[in-house]
Amino acid sequence: MSISVKPSHLATYKDVALLYLKHGRNANIDSDQLSERFGIEEKVEASEDAEAFVSDLERLGPTFIKLGQLLSTRADLIPPSWLTALERLQDDVKPFSYEEVHQIVESELGVRISKAFESFDETPLAAASLGQVHRAVLRDCKTEVAVKIQRPNARETVLKELEAIAEVADFLDAHTEFGRQYEPGRIVAQFRRSILRELNYLEEADNLNRLGRNLRAKKDIIIPKPFMDFCSDKVLTMEYIPGTKITELSGVVHTDLDGAALAESLFSAYLEQVLMDGFFHADPHPGNLLLTRDHKLALLDLGMIGVVPDTLKDQLLQLLTAVAEGNSSRASDVAKRIGTPKEDYDEEACSREIRQIVEDRYGSNISDMQIGRLVLEVTHACAQNGLSIPDEMYLLGKMLMNLDIIAKTLDPEFDPDASIRRHSSALLNRRFKDQLTTGNIVHLLTDVKELVSTTPQRLNDFFRSLSSNKLQVKVDAIDEELLLSGFQQVANRITTGLILSALIIGAAMLMNIESKFMLFGYPGLAIILFLAAAIGGLILVGSIVFNDVKRKKVRR
């Protein structure tokens, strides 16, 4: 496979190749070939330091920071210690100027800031690699809002760097065993889809509306409401929700807080998102969850979301239930059904590792239980043994891992297994009812109508073929002659056995009838029948033994 090298991408090529040579594991590649291909002259020392990897990603900027956040979901690629380091990946950068904010907002909304907003804070509340958030008040409704503005040229920079990263990934796919096993090109394609969604603030506004509708029954969970008239691709205006980050709660707040009820409500809300709605907030890290003044939880930043197909929902429910119950064999079976076998798939090793993971965890203390970590370990075991897992599973594992941290912060005694067991029956009932909705019944009735309407014609075709002796039945079976021969031997032996039984019974009955013809002091005809039955029985036994010995020799 030929990979063209573009001069405008040389700096990014070099950054990606250096990262790979320095931190790549099990790469099985000629480093000189990679260095020569992408213009690396200096010698690169291999590193196993996860913190150094995170520092390198932060130094390289927004695209690589976001790539690191995606890699933190890939337990099949990243060792557990590195996953922990990537969780601490910082996305806080220097804010861009208010003059640029002013220009972007007015250009995107088509109105002067002073006309749209009664007030607009020049100092941002937070700044990240792709954008920053300012506090403001809408002029028409006097509502306090948070305005998220995309960093200037963020989209262009990301797309340019992504193109270069994709070319290096394609090179690894074509020239390394690592590439053939883990398909970095596919990972980069997934990353491209994810980050382009994050860069489209109109899509994030739709996500806020959708999640708000799905969780409207959860009174303890708040989703900020977007103001669509003040949103665009690069500007997102949403309800401002004052609160405190979960990780910054003081001891006094914990005293007045019903942490157990909040943790339970949050966990059940995410179970419903994944297993019922098939649409979930995929990045619930502590910075994206606030505790409001009235002790509710606000979910922020819906740029990263996960979508679960209907076919996967039931399997995920079965997997989580099996894990919660410590049923290692069932968990192994469900995980294997979720995945797709590759050429090097080792089913026995995969089953053994998954069972071991579940069994080891089931004996843990409540404080050590992390269902998210377990799901990531299961996906890692699958990948290591040649079972390809859907991308949704990695997002799910990462989401659950963040959820474990938040739930333990709210309630150190929170038991995720018990929560899953409490909600699994209700979720299963709702899944069943959803499958009997009007839409599904319409599809079912349509299929039945098609079957009924086509059945007469199919029956006519069948009887026409039957009457003209053109009906053919194709059956893949074993050797018919051998099968019939076997049946014939069985029938012959049964018939012979019945005849011998009749001779014995007849002889026994004749024993009671007086006769002038005597042998050995008994009625002669009865003795003859007994002798005939005995001789016949010996012949039958001999035949059976002889044929069985002969058959064994033939098999050898």
* Residue positions annotated with a catalytic role: 283
Contact 46, 21 (CB under 8 A): yes
d(CA 421, CA 320): 9
In 3-state terms the chain splits into helix, strand, coil percentages (rounded to 5) of 65, 10, 25
- DSSP symbol at 8: G
Paired residues of 305 in beta bridges: 281
Nearest to 13 by CA among 33, 30, 34: 34
Q: Is 240 exposed, middle or buried (0-12, 13-18, 19+ CB in 10 A)?
A: middle
Residues 334 and 322: their CA atoms lie apart, in Å, by: 9
**Which two tokens mark 521?**
């002091």
As a whole number of angstroms, the distance between CA 360 and CA 326 comes to 9
Query: Which residues make Cβ contacts (< 8 Å) with residue 163, sequence separation at least 6?
Result: 6, 9
Sheet with 289-292, edge to edge strand ranges:
221-222, 297-299, 289-292, 243-245
- At position 540, the amino acid (one-letter code) is L
Q: What are phi and psi of 339, to 5 degrees?
A: -85, 170
Q: Residue 437 has which token pair?
A: 């909705």
Asked if 171 contacts 180 with a C-beta cutoff of 8 angstroms, the reply is no
DSSP-based three-state secondary structure for 6? coil
In 10 A of CB 73, how many CB atoms? 28
Residues 6+ apart with CB under 8 A from 251: none
CA pair distance 266, 118, nearest whole angstrom: 35
CB neighbourhood size of 144 (10 A): 14
Q: List phi, psi (to 5°) of 233.
A: -60, -30
Q: Residue 404 carries which side chain, given as an amino acid letter?
A: D
Q: How many residues does the chain have?
A: 556
How far is Cα of residue 22 from the mean position of the Cα atoms in its chain?
30
DSSP state of 233: S
